[in-house]
Chain A
């Protein structure tokens, strides 16, 4: 074996390792970004909040009615609500595709939508 052979082998293995590491990092960062919390009020879309961005949004409706939704660590929850029953506040956090929080008195619905459907499971035969 020549010296170049060793360089070649080490180079290939290093390059592969770096690519794997990098792609893993990119995948991890993107896994949350695909999921979006869609807020609808009375059937109309109010806004979309990507789960990878921490945000607290106070949604003011008419007559002092409000909901506060909070997105952190890739999950979405309702922090506060003006209604009496507080079901939406006590509802568990949502983060997966199709999970929903409903605040019936305020006619507010938070649904998680995962726009990224073309993942490896969807593509593999």
Chain B
């Protein structure tokens, strides 16, 4: 049982890593810094609903560190880490309340990923004018959250059945 879990986690991390790379290759150029589809969040969502919160948290952190070292720089890693942690905490809470389905949880995750990034960027650059970007990032986070949520909902059903890892 434990071996299977570790193997699955490894698979998920690899998948998140690859999806981050895909996103890195195909950046979403709409003139707003930090706007991303968040493909890797797909894996985090699936992990959260199949493996559980501990493994999903681990996956989220490992992914950010790996991607940061491989494709980005330290500043980018800092932003991603803040976004990933905040969004993960919010997703956990949202999941715990059982108010929302996987889509709602994903939307909240997407929104708060951007919020976390902006907060850190505001501290690093020491300017409040970045708040100007926040509404756009929230809308993008919502849209990508819906997409990611629907897809991860479809995947979760199948992965759960295949692996039966809970």
Interface residues of A (CB under 8 A from B): 1-2, 4-5, 8-9, 12-13, 16, 19-20, 119-120, 123-125
Interface centre among A1, A119, A125 (most CB of B within 10 A): A1
Q: Are A13 and B142 in contact (CB under 8 A)?
A: yes
Main secondary structure of the interface of B (DSSP, over half): helix
Specify which chain A residues have a CB less than 8 angstroms from the CB of B101 in the assembled complex.
Answer: 1-2, 4-5
Number of interface residues of B (CB under 8 A): 19
Contacts of A123 in B (CB 8 A): 127, 129
| A9→B100 contact, CB < 8 A | no
Measured between beta carbons, the chain A residues less than 8 angstroms from B56 are none
The number of residue pairs between A and B whose CB atoms lie closer than 8 Å in the complex comes to: 47
Given contacts A1-B101, A4-B100, A16-B138, A9 and B125 within 8 Å (CB-CB): no
The listed residue (A5, A13, A19, A124) touching B104 by CB distance below 8 A is A5
B111 within 8 A of A: yes
Question: A1 — which chain B residues lie within 8 A by C-beta?
Answer: 101, 103-104, 149-150
In the bound complex, how far is the Cα of B131 from the Cα of A124, in angstroms?
12
**Whole-angstrom distance between the alpha carbons of A86 and B99 in the complex?**
73
When the two chains form their complex, are residues A8 and B135 in contact, meaning their CB atoms are under 8 A apart? no
Instruction: Give Cα A26 to B139, complex, Å.
Output: 21
- Among B107, B125, B132, point to the contact of A5 (Cβ < 8 A): B107
Check if B43 is an interface residue, CB within 8 A of chain A. no
Given A12-B111, A13-B142, A123-B129: A5 and B135 within 8 A (CB)?
no
Question: Contact between B139 and A13 (Cβ–Cβ < 8 Å)?
Answer: yes
Distance (Å) between the CB of A97 and the closest chain B CB? Answer: 19
Contact partner, B132, options A9, A12, A120, Cβ 8 Å = A120
Give me 10 A-to-B residue pairs in the complex whose CB atoms sit less than 8 angstroms apart, sorted by A's number.
Answer: A1-B149, A2-B103, A2-B104, A5-B101, A5-B149, A9-B104, A12-B138, A13-B142, A19-B135, A20-B135
